[in-house]
Structure 1
């Protein structure tokens, strides 16, 4: 049975080919720790859950749905600029926005450069 072809590294601007199922080349893997570490070790533990809950209580509607004139309850707190392990950026509430799960998933896919998903 033939093997699947290699795919491009998902790091922005990198065209290196990696085996199917691998997201990043060796050069860029260390820049994407979210791929190899658990959620708790990336900062999404008890303190995050408490802060997330407070934020959603004060920001109950999805900001993307509001732009479309729809009132949809937010379920996710999103980091507008990905923190990539930077704890200062992680806890900076000016870098947070409330999103419904659908819009959070779309934004995450767009950041991973899967072009078929857009707002």
Structure 2
């Protein structure tokens, strides 16, 4: 199934590709994993506040965070759905 949302084309722009590379260079480790004292390479650049097609939010470097795919696909999705997500550090304490 093809995603037909018009803002999807923003991910194909040279500007986004440069920003993505820069973000992963500046923050190469998953932000959520680091909070849990786990060192995991990031491979997804996530919009902290969902852009919902807003180019201003989409291209705002302060609205970006680096995550690993499992954190992005599982934890971030639950957060965006309004669910309470409790994460734990290496000692088992909530973060």
TM-score (norm 1): 0.60
What stretches of structure 1 move > 2 A for 4+ residues in a row?
A: 115-119
Q: Deviations over 1:44-103 (max 9, x none)?
A: 113212220121011100000000001100000110000111111111111110000011
- Contact 1:110–1:118 under 8 Å retained in 2: no
Aligned-partner Cα distance in 2 for 1:53–1:100: 14
The structure that has the greater radius of gyration is 1
Which residue pairs with 2:12 in the alignment? 45
Structure 2: tracts of 5 or more residues without a match: 88-95
The Cα of 1:110 is off from its aligned counterpart by: 3.5
1:86 aligns with 2:54: yes
Q: What TM-score do you get using the length of structure 2 for normalisation?
A: 0.73
For the aligned residues, what is the CA RMSD? 2.2
Q: Which runs of 5+ in 1 are unaligned?
A: 1-34
Which structure has the highest helix share of the two? 2
